[in-house]
Amino acid sequence: MDLHQRLEALLTLAEQIGLEIRRESLGGDGGGLCELRGRRVLFVDSAADIDTRYERTLAAIAETPEWESRYVSPELREDLDRMRGSK
C-alpha cells in the first residue's frame, strides 16, 4: 500500500469514528485535530506534501481511542501504534 492509499484509508477511518474532515490550504505544515462547537474536526493541509499530511493525520487518529475497535490493516495499525507509542 503506497502513502496515498494509506492516507485515504486513514481518512476513511477518521470518518468512521465520527471525525469531520476539512481539506484546506494551511501553508504547507499545518493540519491536525481540534474541537469546534462540540464537533471533532480533522484539518488536512492541502498545501502540505504527502508525508506531512500522512504524519499529521496519523498523529490525530492515534490520539482517538475509537480507532482501536475498528478493522485497520496491519500496515496502518503498525503506524498508529508507533505514533501512539512515540507520545
Question: What are the pLDDT digits (tens) for 17-39?
Answer: 999 999 999 999 889 999 999 99
C-alpha dihedral (78, 80, 86, 87), degrees to nearest 10: -160
Q: Using CA atoms, how far apart are residues 35 and 19, in angstroms rounded to an integer? A: 10
Residue 53 domain boundaries: 3-85
Structure-model confidence comparison of residues 76 and 1, the more confident one: 76
With a pLDDT cut of 70, the percent of the chain lying above it is 98
Three-state DSSP state, 19? coil
pLDDT(87) > 80: no
Q: How many domains does the chain have?
A: 1
Strand pairing category for 39-45 and 20-24? parallel
- Bridge partners (DSSP) of residue 20 are 41
CATH number of the domain encompassing residue 73: 3.30.2010
Q: What is the reported pTM?
A: 0.89
- End-to-end C-alpha distance for the chain, whole angstroms: 25
